[in-house]
């Protein structure tokens, strides 16, 4: 497990990093959004712990940048008093949680535990849908949008029976009984955030 900590308060960042080390979690510290961007790679795996107020680019602006980059890392915001409206916006944009300063390390570990659970669920569901053919994935994407078999057939320019065949295969491959099961799987995937 790993966190990418973007926090300009050096003492707080070091305290968090030390606490993470005790818990067996690697913490990579960045003191600004810009320094994180310089090092960012689509190969990053873990969770982003992000301060709302940073010098230069704000945490919300970094979140927007990450979304634009197609980043699917769970983001938890660290916020001070009076920044709650910003955090509400961040959660609407897909942040998984926030923690208000001052916080205890046990509170932080609880929030991180939830984020790591989401990350694990995301990876499991990504692996599950990876067994779908490209056509099945097209059908899957349209079904989870709530489109009927007829609309899927029209949009993909294929026959209704072909859609029904793919739908049956998708349900079997993903071991779910209905489209609502597919929607449940899709909820942890980046496109659904």
Domains of the chain (ranges, CATH numbers): 2-128 (3.40.50.2300), 131-192 (1.10.10.10)
Instruction: Answer for the pair 27, 21: CB distance below 8 angstroms, yes or no.
Output: yes
d(CA 77, CA 91): 9
Count CA atoms within 13 Å of residue 159 on its CB side.
3
Residues 6+ apart with CB under 8 A from 3: 20, 25, 26, 27, 28, 46, 47, 48, 49, 112
Identify the helix (H) or strand (E) that includes residue 49.
strand 47-51
Nearest to 37 by CA among 16, 58, 14: 58
Q: Return the DSSP state at 57.
A: S
Burial 159-180 (b: 16+ CB within 10 A, else e): eeeebeebbebbbeebebeebe
pLDDT for 190: 55
d(CA 175, CA 155): 25
d(CA 164, CA 140): 11
pLDDT for 82: 67
pLDDT along the chain (193 residues), means of 10: 95 95 95 97 93 94 94 89 77 87 91 88 86 95 94 96 96 93 80 41
């Amino acid at each position: 497990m790993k966190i990418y900590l973007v926090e300009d308060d050096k003492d707080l960042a070091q305290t968090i990093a030390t606490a993470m080390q005790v818990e067996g979690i690697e913490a990579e510290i960045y003191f600004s959004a810009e320094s994180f961007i310089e090092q960012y790679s689509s190969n990053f795996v873990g969770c982003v712990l992000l301060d709302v107020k940073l010098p230069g680019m704000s945490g919300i602006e970094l979140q927007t940048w990450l979304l634009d980059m197609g980043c699917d890392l769970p983001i938890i915001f660290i916020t001070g008093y009076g920044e709650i409206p910003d955090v509400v916006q961040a959660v609407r944009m897909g942040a998984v949680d926030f923690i208000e300063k001052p916080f205890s390390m046990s509170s932080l570990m609880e929030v991180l535990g939830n984020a790591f659970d989401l990350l694990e669920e995301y990876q499991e569901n990504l692996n599950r849908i990876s067994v779908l053919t490209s056509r099945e994935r097209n059908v899957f994407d349209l079904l989870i949008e709530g489109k009927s078999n007829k609309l899927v057939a029209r949009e993909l320019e294929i026959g209704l029976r072909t859609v029904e065949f793919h739908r049956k295969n998708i349900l079997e491959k993903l071991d779910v009984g209905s489209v609502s099961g597919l929607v449940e799987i899709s909820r942890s995937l980046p496109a659904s955030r």
